[in-house]
Structure 1
């Protein structure tokens, strides 16, 4: 296995962008990432594109406009973890020596997709979904349980959103760049008690891309490589085996595998990006990723440790709550944010002295399985 490096990153803006096609969103992100990496088309040996609702052969149509053809290109879908899946697949190709340089791109246009303006529909045979177990309901149940078992309050959930929007106000790519108060979050439209509108991520268009390379190739292009030291992707177990909705065991398993591969402990991590489609999730991820002991997630939030300037800032990008959630792009975008943090180029939201970072993403719900996929990448300098 060869060392794999993040050589370049690129992101589109995030927001309601119906005037920009998903292919152009992806192309803009890839073009930026290639320029950042200092590579040209003939260097690229493989491309993985993640998309859920966008057109077929997305990778091929994105790269065609950049003059890259006749190489291996693969299109993947894995729910919201699709972007993490694209990064993981490319990582394996380079680590195994199948190519020296490749691109992982995630793209989604929620405002022009077939479900624009609608709820994400359940499959015809998804009993839970058909009976109304939509995403907000699942996380409303989780919120209620956290209140019963962890002593969480509605103000705690609102604080997660306030923190995310404080970070997002510092991110020029974010969809929502306005700071909020706890009262504003709690006073927003009820969705599924106790979840309110401003505890939910917005529908978003956007794209993100990373150029990955072997360490040997990277040495010719950079003196400050960001290495993918740990990479894991895990699918879910049968739902009937799940006994506690205040943990997402799948994320814990992926993180454990990534930590072991990277040779680091949770206490070594300086900055984290997680899936926060709903505010209560972030508290659960603190515990599942080992950032605190089981049952201490609420206390960690209240301590300020996960805010900018704290011991372990979480979602300094603004997360899905503020930056937005273009489903298949978010997993790639999290890796971009961590790589940029470790390079020290995140401006006013920069985590000082960060040398180890973790990007996590979850994706996919269906009756009978606890969760579709969890991806974790650990990056180091």
Structure 2
């Protein structure tokens, strides 16, 4: 297996882009990434996307977008793993380069949701749950996560105030991130008094609906130095899964997919959880972020909420987590999120992230998941 490096990065601001369609949004990020990689010529395209089929009735997305950005003729495909699609797309692009099939691969993620009413988008997002055993009975995605959050609070004695510390911090970081969707500060009281979405989850525990695209140019070691003065290595990749329905989980509070993906990524990168200096973790809901920290081995089981409330994982700690504002406040254009995370870690390592800057990290981690922690990718980056 060859070494693989991130040599180009491009992102759009996340928001409600009523003036742009899916293709133009993707092109904005993709062309920025190519320009950042000194005009590299990608030999293949991998696109992370969840909802093009259900919302836009558009399949064959890889070829469509390759043609739109001037790459007609290259191999192109879409990767779908629900909200984890972006991370799995990065894993696919990494594999194409590492295996020697291509020297330069463009990996992008894009999602366009704002053109549709919230009920329509919510129904499409619910397809990440088990259609036969959950969705048909009316279980919404927030409701399934609310079950996990209630169980967490009752099992570990976590207070509602401790749980609310996470979104408050995410909004503080997003306030300083020009790419973020929710650039405003909130308080603990704001979280606790926000409208209830699915008890105990409130609106401010939840990531917003938004549009966005992010892209990476990946290159083999012999090409990377020609395309970037500061290439960032993808040192390890791991993928994991769990049952899609939560009712048959071995343990709802043990995120099996996260744990398995993390074990693989750490082993392949030759690192341990204690070596991670910066991380971007999946926090579509507060409970998702906390369980992710524990599944990654960054917090002991049942202690993530308390640690966050006490100030752990903040700027200046080790690891520094979600300095972007996370899915919660940076935004969650679902199929693109995993690509945003890797792009943000790479920019932090290059010292070029435009928001809250990390403390010169050497080793970073990006983790994104689909469903209720059912399909997870973990990607380790090294400067």
- Report the TM-score range of the alignment, normalised by the length of the smaller protein: over 0.9
Change (3 A) 1:78 1:31: same
State the distance in 2 between where 1:280 and 1:18 align: 31
246, 255, 262: which is aligned to 2:253? 246
- Cross-structure match for 1:308: 315
Could you give the per-residue CA deviations for residues 3-50 of structure 1, whole angstroms, max 9, x where no partner exists? 00001111111011122101101000001111111133xx21110112
Instruction: Give the match's secondary structure for 1:75.
Output: strand
Q: Which residues in structure 2 correspond to 1:285-300 (within 5 Å)?
A: 285-300=292-307
Tell me the CA shift for residue 352 of structure 1: 1.0
State the distance in 2 between where 1:35 and 1:221 align: 10
| Residue 358 of structure 1 pairs with residue 356 of structure 2 | no
- Cross-structure match for 2:7: 7
Q: TM-score, normalised by structure 2?
A: 0.93
Tell me the CA shift for residue 222 of structure 1: 2.7
Change (3 A) 1:149 1:172: same
Tell me the CA shift for residue 362 of structure 1: 0.6
Range with greater deviation from structure 2 (235-244 or 160-169)? 235-244
95, 100, 104: which is aligned to 2:103? 100
- Cross-structure match for 1:144: 150
State the distance in 2 between where 1:237 and 1:334 align: 24
CA contact (8 A) 1:81 1:363 kept: yes
Q: How many equivalent residue pairs?
A: 374
State the distance in 2 between where 1:115 and 1:45 align: 38
Q: Which runs of 5+ in 1 are unaligned?
A: 366-370
State the distance in 1 between where 2:253 and 2:303 align: 12
- Cross-structure match for 2:173: 167
| Residue 194 of structure 1 pairs with residue 197 of structure 2 | no
- Cross-structure match for 2:44: 46
Instruction: Give the match's secondary structure for 1:361.
Output: strand
CA contact (8 A) 2:240 2:256 kept: no
State the distance in 1 between where 2:158 and 2:241 align: 29
State the distance in 1 between where 2:228 and 2:89 align: 23
76, 79, 99: which is aligned to 1:76? 79
CA contact (8 A) 2:239 2:257 kept: no
Tell me the CA shift for residue 338 of structure 1: 0.9
Range with greater deviation from structure 2 (262-271 or 240-249)? 240-249
Could you give the per-residue CA deviations for residues 76-134 of structure 1, whole angstroms, max 9, x where no partner exists? 21101111111111111100100000111110100125877542245695231122321
Instruction: Give the match's secondary structure for 2:218.
Output: strand
Q: Which residues in structure 2 correspond to 1:114-125 (within 5 Å)?
A: 118-121=121-124, 122=126, 125=131
| Residue 206 of structure 1 pairs with residue 204 of structure 2 | no
Q: TM-score, normalised by structure 1?
A: 0.93
CA contact (8 A) 1:52 1:79 kept: yes
State the distance in 2 between where 1:238 and 1:316 align: 29
State the distance in 2 between where 1:307 and 1:251 align: 21
Could you give the per-residue CA deviations for residues 310-339 of structure 1, whole angstroms, max 9, x where no partner exists? 222211111111011111000111111111
Instruction: Give the match's secondary structure for 1:119.
Output: helix
State the distance in 1 between where 2:242 and 2:288 align: 17
Could you give the per-residue CA deviations for residues 228-270 of structure 1, whole angstroms, max 9, x where no partner exists? 0001122324756523222211111000100000000100001
Could you give the per-residue CA deviations for residues 290-311 of structure 1, whole angstroms, max 9, x where no partner exists? 1122232123212312112222
Change (3 A) 1:116 1:29: farther
CA contact (8 A) 1:53 1:114 kept: no
- Cross-structure match for 2:378: 376
Instruction: Give the match's secondary structure for 1:8.
Output: strand
321, 327, 330: which is aligned to 1:320? 327
State the distance in 2 between where 1:335 and 1:6 align: 9
- Cross-structure match for 1:222: 228
CA contact (8 A) 2:84 2:368 kept: yes
State the distance in 1 between where 2:184 and 2:327 align: 14
- Cross-structure match for 1:368: none
State the distance in 1 between where 2:333 and 2:143 align: 20
